[in-house]
Amino acid sequence: MVGSVVFKLVLTLVLFTVQVLCVKKPAEILIGRLIHWIHDRLQHHSVARYGYPVELHKVTTQDDYILSLVRIPGKSDKPPVLMVHGLLSSSIDWTVQGPDKSIAFIAADEGYDVWMGNVRGNTFSKEHKTFSSRDKEFWQFSFHEIGLYDLPAMVDYIRSNTSSDTVHYVGHSQGGTVFLVMASMRPDYNRKFASVHLMAPAAYIYHATSPAVDFASRIDELEMFAKLTRSYEIGGRGPGSSVDLVYVGHKTGLVPTSLVLTNIWYLVGVHDSINRTVLGEILANTPAGCSVYQLLHYGQNYLAKSFQMYDYGPVRNIERYGTKIPPEYPLHNVTAPIMLYYSAGDNFVPPEDVEELADQLPNVVHKHLIGLRKWNHIDYLFDVCFIRHQVL
């Protein structure tokens, strides 16, 4: 087994070397290919280490982003399940808790064909047919484009590679946002879902109390800083990454666990639910990066007290939308059967905002309010015992 792995690694490096001898920037391409290879191995290992079968798939969107899908093949005739992560997250967050506690493994144990998406710009989906992730053009997207292009590409790919016409959907936070964008703007996709489970869907967020929303009053400064520094990625991994420094510091003992948890709790609310034995693995992959424009879009919606399209300013809004103010997403088009899960202790997506969302949707078939005052925004991923009984 070890010999086989070594052989494959040597063969891979030889192939890389042969390929880069014929290009102008061999070091750059070699590093890029090695990074993609490492990321693929990370995704594969996050599932295979627990004895589950795993497949990695590449999906190209209508606007040429290349996304990564992780699959745990099903064992029955049940429809496939697509799971889509939240802001600054990735597919690994669905499996990091291991069997019996991770949503992806619970669904796989029930016989479902599990697919985990990685949206554009996160660690595992940083490829494009034309642009490099170092290019400004690569990062010119918000959650709007993810809903408009990424989700449809994933759904179409899953349907064409399985025997099922419909898909179950599970989305956390931004995973709920982008579903609502897709289902409202491309309503033909509603019929392709057997059920839709949205956990803390970040649509209306103007009752949010997390200190993280303080940036909303400074979104102009944030955009200006991004343009001046030509740095459009937030929370990314790799050389020079501040979050990687935190991870290494924690791994070596220089950054104590208590300090890490204190900072997490400051943002999401105190709930000592994270298993200390997996905290290192969580930090190894989360945050997974996003575009600054995703944050700006959420900040705009928070200030506008609305779930609306991206605000480009009055002049560009007229050119794009025909109005000075961006239009709201037409939620009346969302006819798929929606199930909402939300918490009294969520300071990012409070109950009041989810209730307003429910009032706007025409086909909410179930609402589940978690009454625990300490159940916070990330407990859906890292303290998920309720999922076995409530979802799927």
Cα→Cα distances 358→34, 198, 332, 379, Å: 45, 11, 11, 21
DSSP secondary structure letters along 151-220: HHHHHHHHHHTSS-S-EEEEEETHHHHHHHHHHHHSGGGGGGEEEEEEES--S--TT---GGGGGGGGHH
Cβ contact 296:223 at 8 Å: yes
Cβ contact 85:117 at 8 Å: yes
68 is catalytic: no
Cβ contact 205:105 at 8 Å: no
273 is catalytic: no
C-alpha closest to that of 176 among 348, 33, 57: 348
Catalytic entry in 144, 377, 379, 383: 377
Catalytic entry in 173, 195, 306, 343: 173
**What string of H, E and C letters represents the secondary structure of 237-295?**
CCCCCHHHHHHHHHHHCCCCHHHHHHHHHHHHCCCCCCCHHHHHHHHHHCCCCEEHHHH
173 is catalytic: yes
State in Å, rounded, how far the first CA of the chain is from the last one. 37
As a whole number of angstroms, the distance between CA 343 and CA 372 comes to 7
Give Rg (Cα) of the chain.
21
As a whole number of angstroms, the distance between CA 278 and CA 269 comes to 19
Catalytic entry in 150, 346, 379, 383: 346
C-alpha closest to that of 381 among 289, 296, 248, 285: 285
Listed in sequence order, the residues at least 6 apart from 60 whose beta carbon sits closer than 8 Å to its beta carbon are 66, 67, 129, 153
C-alpha closest to that of 173 among 390, 340, 300: 340
* Token couple for 308: 């609306």
Active site residues: 173, 346, 377
